[in-house]
């Protein structure tokens, strides 16, 4: 089962957990799964159209999902997803 790590700013919305296990065979399905279990997380991970926010980057292992199909990118049981606020660097 893939895991999803959250930044500290989102952990209060996930019962204080930094890392969650998620079911699904794509990034989008994994995000949907934790959104169902923690409904307050949902609007932080997708906008009202179901798309990722420009301020939030999701990585599949070390790869920005925008390079590998976005929410349609396939995930394996051993994969690690990371949600990282994108407003940094430069």
Partner 1 sequence: MTTAIRPTRALAALPLRCASCGRDHEAAPAHICPSCLGPLEPVYDADRELPDRAEIAARPRSLWRYREWLPFTGRPERCLNAGWTPLIDAPRLASALGVSRCLVKHDAGSFPSLSFKDRVVASAFNAAHAFGLTVVGCASTGNLANAVAAAAAREGFQAWIFIPHDLEPAKVAASAIFGPRLVRVRGTYDDVNRLCAQVADRFGWGIVNVNLRAYYGEGSKTAAFEIAEQLGWRLPDAVVAPMAGGSLVTKLSKGFGEFLSARLVHGVTPRLYGAQAEGCAPIVRLVERGDDTIVPVKPATIAKSLAIGNPADGRTASHAIRSSGGWAAAVNDLEIVEGIRLLAETTGIFGETAAGVTVAAARALARAGRLTPDDEVVLCITGNGLKTIDAVSDSLAIPEPIAARLSEVAALVSQTTQT
* Contact in structure between 56 and 86 (CB atoms under 8 Å): yes
Looking at residues 12 to 51 of the shown chain, list those that interact with partner 1 (rule: CB under 8 A).
44
- Residue 55 makes contact with partner 1 by CB under 8 A: yes
Q: Are 27 and 72 in contact (CB under 8 A)?
A: yes
With contacts defined by CB under 8 A, name the span among 20-28, 34-42, 53-61, 68-76 that binds partner 1.
53-61
Closest alpha carbon to 25 in 65, 67, 74, 62: 74
Applying CB under 8 A, the residues found at the interface with partner 1 are: 7-10, 44, 53-57, 59, 62, 64, 66-67, 82, 84-90
């Amino acid at each position: 089962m893939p895991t999803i790590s959250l930044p500290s700013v989102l952990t209060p919305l996930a019962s204080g957990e930094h890392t969650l296990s998620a079911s699904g065979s794509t990034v989008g399905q994994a995000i949907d799964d934790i959104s169902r279990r923690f409904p307050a997380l949902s609007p932080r991970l997708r906008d009202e159209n179901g798309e990722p926010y420009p301020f939030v980057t999701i990585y599949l292992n070390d790869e920005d999902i925008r390079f590998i199909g976005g929410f349609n990118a396939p995930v394996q049981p051993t994969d690690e997803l990371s949600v990282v606020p994108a407003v940094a660097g430069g």
